[in-house]
Amino acid sequence: MSTITNICIERLNELNASQRRFLRDCEPVSPVQVRVDGKNYLSFAGNDYLGLRMHPAVVDAGVNVATHYGAGSGASRLVTGNHPLYGPLEAALAEYKHTEAALVFGSGYLANIGVVASLMGEGDLILADKLVHACILDGARLSGATLKRFKHNDAAHAQTLLQAHRSAYRHVLIVTESIFSMDGDRAPLVELSKLAREHHAWLMVDDAHGLGEDYEVQPDIWVGTLSKAIGGYGGYVAASNPVIDLLTNHARSLIFSTGLPPAVCASALAALRFMKAEPERADKASNHARHFTKELGLSLAESAIVPLITGSAESALALSEKLKTHGIWATAIRPPTVPANTARLRLTFSAEHSDEEVQALISAIKAAQKDAI
Ligand SMILES: *Cc1c(COP(=O)(O)O)cnc(C)c1O
């Protein structure tokens, strides 16, 4: 019988063991420790690069606001959910990204699908880096625009595509990430910005994995998240006033979704201030990543993210399991999240890791690699 339950069982059976995904309880113990199945692990698998999500002042800012304004926002922003924490947070985000304005969405995912689907439509072209995040591709699908991909970080390929196809479309949006989520490398923003100007295209950069740094270019649109270096939850778009006004009127993922809880905005605002006032946090996370890549003979880290590519999904899972025996948590990332045969451990470094903890990771990986030979 093709009940929905039976169909789901059949479809799950089509996945092999290394493809199956499971949710598991991960109890936060410290900014860099998780407790899983009754055991504590040192984690190199989070996105809290600056260690701000457990910063007492960041947490307190949220607690105080929750006491006054409650647990939720009660409505979408255009109805009655636009509580007084949004204004200062958006002003701080616009200042941070050097734009006229910013608009906070429920998450980075919602920001990306909202901005891409609102600005682009049928007859337009979206030119995206091969490795951009899934939510940008989902936004492209929703928009009805044509999507073409250029080879990862290959501005020359983007140029070739523009030369061949620009004239067939009305508007063109070039989309990339400042720092790529699964590889930790940086986009050629200067070249892409130049291409955008030369071909009358717009440039959008997703800065989800930025650590608060300034970049050498100012794209037409910044997208970002409040959930990684900023340590909380939510997403944003930063751009000119008219772009933000347009999104306020057209972005369905903003209009038809409840506003963020006031406490969440208050914590993000506090975290943004620490991000700016304490740049040594970003330096520490990047230094850990660079030290790690030097010790393991990998190409020098360009961010707080380092991929340790193993190839097959099985080998990534095996290395992850091996590290667990050393008390280290490093998540295996497998296709389809990453391209076929590039399964990896995605290691992330935080300002809250000590030098000794990074050394423990290095030693554990070296021991695991020796065992594997
Ligand atoms: C994490 C991420 C997002 C989604 O942000 P959330 O706030 O987690 O929804 C968007 N883009 C990129 C590049 C990301 O890594």
Render pLDDT for 96-119 as a digit per residue (tens, 0 to 9): 999 999 999 999 999 999 999 999
Per-residue pLDDT, 18: 76
Distance (Å) from CA 155 to ligand 1 centroid: 23
Q: How far apart are CA 231 and CA 235, in angstroms?
A: 12
CA distances to 223, 339, 367 from 169, rounded to whole Å, are 24, 29, 54
Render pLDDT for 126-149 as a digit per residue (tens, 0 to 9): 999 999 999 999 999 999 999 999
Instruction: Report the residue among 180, 186, 228, 253 best suited for mutation to probe ligand 1: largest number of ligand atoms under 8 A from its CB.
Output: 228
Q: 319 pLDDT band (50/70/90 cuts)?
A: very high
133 is catalytic: yes
Render pLDDT for 190-217 as a digit per residue (tens, 0 to 9): 999 999 999 999 999 999 999 999 999 9
Per-residue pLDDT, 373: 62
Residue in 206, 207, 220, 352 annotated catalytic = 206
Q: Name the residue with the closest Cα to ligand 1, atom 6.
A: 108
Strand partners, 308: 345
Closest C-alpha among 366, 364, 354 to residue 324: 364
For residue 19, pLDDT over 90 is answered with no
Per-residue pLDDT, 224: 98
Q: How far apart are CA 78 and CA 62, in angstroms?
A: 23
177 is catalytic: yes
Using a pLDDT cut of 70, give the percent of the chain over it. 100
Helices (H), the chain: 4-13, 56-69, 86-96, 108-119, 134-143, 155-165, 189-198, 241-250, 252-255, 262-277, 280-295, 313-325, 355-372
Per-residue pLDDT, 370: 83
Q: How far apart are CA 308 and CA 45, in angstroms?
A: 12
Residue in 107, 118, 178, 181 annotated catalytic = 181
For residue 28, pLDDT over 90 is answered with yes
Distance (Å) from CA 149 to ligand 1 centroid: 19
Question: Going edge to edge, which strands form the sheet with 328-329?
Answer: 27-30, 33-36, 39-43, 328-329
326 is catalytic: no
Per-residue pLDDT, 284: 98
- The average confidence (pLDDT) of the chain is 96
228 is catalytic: yes
Q: How far apart are CA 237 and CA 225, in angstroms?
A: 9
Render pLDDT for 176-188 as a digit per residue (tens, 0 to 9): 999 999 999 999 9
Residue in 228, 288, 322, 353 annotated catalytic = 228
Q: Which residues line ligand 1 (CB under 6 A)?
A: 107-109, 112, 133, 135, 177, 181, 206, 208-209, 225, 227, 235
Q: How far apart are CA 15 and CA 198, in angstroms?
A: 46
Using a pLDDT cut of 90, give the percent of the chain over it. 94
13 is catalytic: no
> What is the number of the ligand 1 atom nearest to the C-alpha of 234?
7
Q: How far apart are CA 93 and CA 82, in angstroms?
A: 16
Strand partners, 104: 236
CA distances to 116, 145, 153 from 31, rounded to whole Å, are 33, 41, 32
Distance (Å) from CA 164 to ligand 1 centroid: 31
Q: What is the mean pLDDT of residues 89-94?
A: 98
Render pLDDT for 29-76 as a digit per residue (tens, 0 to 9): 999 999 999 999 999 999 999 999 999 999 999 999 999 999 999 999
> What is the number of the ligand 1 atom nearest to the C-alpha of 225?
7
Q: How far apart are CA 1 and CA 235, in angstroms?
A: 43
Give the tokens for residue 251: 């972005």
pTM over cut 0.85: yes
Q: Which element (helix H / strand E) includes 128?
A: strand 125-129
C-alpha 37: how far from chain center: 27
Three-state secondary-structure class, residue 14: coil
Gyration radius of the chain's alpha carbons: 21
Q: How far apart are CA 272 and CA 78, in angstroms?
A: 25
Instruction: Report the residue among 48, 104, 109, 253 best suited for mutation to probe ligand 1: largest number of ligand atoms under 8 A from its CB.
Output: 109
Three-state secondary-structure class, residue 170: coil
Render pLDDT for 148-180 as a digit per residue (tens, 0 to 9): 999 999 999 999 999 999 999 999 999 999 999
Task: Report whether 177 contacts 132 (CB < 8 A).
Answer: yes
